[in-house]
Amino acid sequence: MTLDASSKCVSVCTLAWPSAISATTRWGPPSQGTIAELRHTQAVVQDSASRRHWAIPYAAIVPDSAAPIHPEPAPPPRAKREEFFIGDTVGFTDKHLNERVGTIVRLNSKTASIALTDSEGHWRVSYGLLRHIVDL
């Protein structure tokens, strides 16, 4: 990564918390350092040799094209209508983050009708939010 601060020109190979980085300033040879702190608008880097700290603004970071790009892992596939049948025991999380468990009583085109206990009533839940419950 290349960093351009107002009074310093710094070249950084990688910037990942809490890893080591390599920097070159216009005042001397390359130096090694580690990210000491992540602030709201800056990263604080500690020089390995002199133990000095310097702040680098995030806005000045330009990624190198040679830096490895780690793609975000794909989310697990969502459940589909074909995976469920009437009578299946399923679980889901409601809007208040409560875990609910019930039985499928009807399969609609986009949702399944789930019967919970008498006091909790019926719910219509998207297939992508349902999880199979296995009784052992």
Q: Is residue 115 part of a domain?
A: yes
> Strands, E, within the chain: which ranges?
2-4, 9-12, 20-24, 31-38, 42-47, 53-57, 61-62, 89-93, 99-107, 111-115, 122-126, 131-132
* Domain interval for residue 98: 81-132
Q: Is residue 29 part of a domain?
A: yes
Residue 81, helix vs strand vs coil: helix
Same domain, 45 and 97: no
Same domain, 89 and 126: yes
Same domain, 55 and 103: no
pLDDT tens figures, 102-118: 999 999 999 999 999 87
Same domain, 56 and 12: yes
Same domain, 18 and 53: yes
Same domain, 53 and 92: no
Domain count, the chain: 2
pLDDT value for 38: 85
Q: Contact at 8 Å (CB) between 125 and 112? A: yes
Amino acid identity, residue 51?
Answer: R
Lowest mean pLDDT among 21-25, 31-35, 55-59: 21-25
Q: Is residue 34 part of a domain?
A: yes
Banded pLDDT at 50 (limits 50, 70, 90): confident
pLDDT tens figures, 70-127: 778 888 888 899 999 999 999 999 999 999 999 999 999 999 999 998 788 899 999 9
Return the closest-CA partner of residue 127 out of 86, 72, 82.
Answer: 82
User: What's the CATH code of the domain at 92?
Assistant: 2.30.30.140
Return the closest-CA partner of residue 47 out of 27, 8, 21.
Answer: 21
Q: Is residue 75 part of a domain?
A: no
Stronger pLDDT, 31 or 120, i.e. the higher one: 120
Asked if the bond preceding 30 is cis, omega within 30° of 0, the reply is no
Same domain, 58 and 94: no
Residue 40 has pLDDT above 60, yes or no: yes
For tokens 């918390």, the residue is 17
Q: To the nearest whole percent, how much of the chain has pLDDT over 70?
A: 68
Residue 127, helix vs strand vs coil: helix
Banded pLDDT at 133 (limits 50, 70, 90): very high
Q: Is residue 17 part of a domain?
A: yes
Q: Is residue 69 part of a domain?
A: no
